[in-house]
């Protein structure tokens, strides 16, 4: 198993509840699953792959964990076409050339071997996020954000780091981490990640929060929002998410909506207000139309047949 050769570290958290409380102290509202897996990742020294719809707090989780552990956040933002030279390291060619030229003038004293040793040394290495995280002396959290955006082939770059916390550089040898950083990979699930990558990670699916948690998020994130308003907002969002939409409102959209309502001085969301502001929650015209229709419809389909208070048979 992987952990044998790696340096031991003191656990960062005492219990699952401790993770939850500390996250709450930096305004991140987790649930049992999220907190449990962060705790486990620390104990097992394994990366976490966080998958789920956009705007559900995946990136924020990594940031918040960095904050509560007093670690520096190192972020690798993925995009199509990302390669080794941007993710891991690159040799500083310009500087190398200058060095070679300079040596010519040095009256031929240095042999080529010396020069080669010299130009492939640390001084000429440009460190990119992955290598930076491995070499860090201080505590770090490594965030590999939106990993689903790189090509499958590029995933291979990550495998060595994720299983052994080391990087092999042909000219320098293998560089091993001095400490096991907490590593988060996020994915908006626009494509399936490779099995090899998934096998190395703990898997956390984050979905839209339940109503209670979303209400809490609104209360912590939106200054000036009242308890009743937060409650209404969370309920309406829950109802809207039950509709079949092209894109359900995300947590960040809920927060935006709540902020707008507070700015407008709203203390109770009536039908008109809801309809007038759904464009903040929903991005597609067809979704807005659908939500408007559903929220304002006389609840004919909602009422059940049968007289009120029909006796239980």
Partner 1 sequence: MSDTVIDPVADDDGGDPVAGDALVDLLNGFIVELREAGLPVSLTEHLDAMEAVRFIPLDDRSAFKYALAATLVKNHAHWRAFETVFEVYFSLRGAEYAIDPDAELAELPEDVESGDARDGAGQAPANAGSGEALTPEELAQMLYQALLQGDDAMMRAMARQAVRRYAGMEPGRPVGGTYYLYRTMRNLDLDGMLEQMMQQSREDAPEPLTPLEERLEHDEYENRINQFKQEVEAEIRRRLVADRGVEAMAKTLRKPLPEDIDFMHASRKEMISLRKALQPLTRRLAVRLARKRRHGRKGPLDFRNTVRHSLSYGGVPAEPKFRYPRPAKPEIFVIADISGSVAAFARFTLHLVHAIASQFSRVRSFVFIDGIDEVTRFFEGTEDIVEAVHRVNTEADVVWVDGHSDYGHAFEVFWQKWGTEVGPKTTVIILGDARNNYHASQSWVIKEIRHRARHVYWLNPEPRAYWDTGDSIVGEYGVHCDGTFECRNLRQLEGFVDHLV
Which residues form the interface with ligand ADP (CB under 6 A)? 27-29, 54-60, 186, 217, 221, 251-252, 255
Tell me if 16 contacts partner 1 by CB under 8 A. Answer: yes
Question: Smallest distance, Å, CB 199 to ligand ADP?
Answer: 23
Provide the strand spans (E) within the chain: 48-51, 72-77, 89-91, 125-127, 140-145, 166-169, 173-176, 182-187, 202-205
What is the C-alpha separation between 175 and 100, in angstroms, rounded?
26
Tell me if 51 contacts partner 1 by CB under 8 A. Answer: yes
Nearer to partner 1, 48 or 119 (CB): 48
Nearer to partner 1, 72 or 198 (CB): 198
User: 306: alpha, beta or left, given left = phi > 0 and alpha = psi -120 to 50?
Assistant: left
The b/e string for 78-106 (b: 16+ C-beta within 10 A; e otherwise) is beeebeeebbbbbeeeeebeebeeebeee
Question: Smallest distance, Å, CB 186 to Mg ion?
Answer: 5
| DSSP-based three-state secondary structure for 292 | helix
Q: Site residues for Mg ion, window 143-182 (CB under 5 A)?
A: none
Tell me if 1 contacts partner 1 by CB under 8 A. Answer: yes
Nearer to ligand ADP, 2 or 252 (CB): 252
Provide the strand spans (E) within 146-294: 166-169, 173-176, 182-187, 202-205
Nearer to partner 1, 129 or 249 (CB): 249
From residue 220 to residue 249, the character string flagging contacts with partner 1 as x (rule: CB under 8 A) and all else as - is: ------------x--xx-xx--x---x---
From the list ligand ADP, partner 1, Mg ion, none, partner contacted by residue 46 (C-beta under 5 to 8 A by kind): partner 1
The distance from CA 249 to its chain's CA centroid, rounded to whole angstroms, is 18
Cα distances (Å, whole numbers) of residue 138 to 3, 73, 133, 141, 305: 20, 11, 9, 10, 66
From residue 70 to residue 99, the character string flagging contacts with partner 1 as x (rule: CB under 8 A) and all else as - is: ------------------------------
From the list partner 1, ligand ADP, Mg ion, none, partner contacted by residue 60 (C-beta under 5 to 8 A by kind): ligand ADP
Question: Smallest distance, Å, CB 62 to ligand ADP?
Answer: 8
Tell me if 173 contacts partner 1 by CB under 8 A. Answer: no
Tokens in use for 282?
Answer: 């929903």
Which of 133, 127, 144 is closest to 176 using CA atoms?
133
Binding residue for Mg ion, selected from 28, 47, 48, 59, defined by CB under 5 A: 59
Nearer to Mg ion, 59 or 64 (CB): 59
What is the C-alpha separation between 243 and 237, in angstroms, rounded?
10
């Amino acid at each position: 198993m992987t952990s044998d050769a790696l340096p031991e570290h003191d656990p960062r958290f005492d219990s699952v509840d401790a993770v939850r409380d500390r996250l709450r102290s930096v305004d991140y509202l987790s649930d049992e699953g999220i907190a449990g897996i962060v705790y486990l990742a620390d104990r097992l020294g394994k990366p976490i792959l966080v998958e789920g719809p956009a705007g559900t707090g995946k990136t924020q989780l990594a940031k918040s964990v960095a904050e509560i552990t007093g670690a520096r956040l190192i972020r690798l933002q993925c995009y199509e076409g990302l390669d080794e030279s941007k993710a891991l390291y690159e040799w500083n060619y310009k500087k190398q050339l200058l060095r070679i030229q300079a040596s010519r003038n040095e009256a031929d004293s240095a042999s080529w071997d010396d020069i080669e040793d010299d130009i492939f040394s640390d001084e000429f290495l440009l460190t990119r996020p992955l290598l930076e995280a491995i070499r860090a002396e201080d505590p770090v959290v490594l965030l590999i954000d939106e990993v689903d955006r790189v090509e499958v082939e590029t995933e291979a770059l990550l495998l060595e780091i994720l299983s052994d916390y080391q990087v092999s550089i042909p000219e320098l040898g293998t560089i091993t981490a001095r400490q096991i950083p907490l590593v988060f990979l996020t994915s908006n699930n626009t494509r399936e990640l490779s099995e090899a990558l998934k096998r190395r990670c703990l898997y956390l699916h984050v979905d839209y929060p339940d109503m209670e948690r979303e209400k809490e998020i609104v209360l912590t994130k939106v200054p000036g929002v009242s308890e009743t308003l937060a409650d209404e907002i969370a309920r309406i969002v829950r109802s809207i998410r039950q509709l079949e939409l092209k894109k359900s409102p995300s947590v960040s959209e809920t927060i935006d909506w709540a902020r707008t309502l507070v700015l407008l001085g709203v203390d109770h969301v009536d039908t008109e207000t809801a309809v007038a502001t759904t464009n903040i929650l929903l991005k597609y015209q067809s979704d807005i139309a659908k939500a408007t229709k559903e929220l304002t419809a006389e609840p004919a389909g909602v009422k059940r047949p049968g007289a009120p208070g029909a006796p239980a048979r």
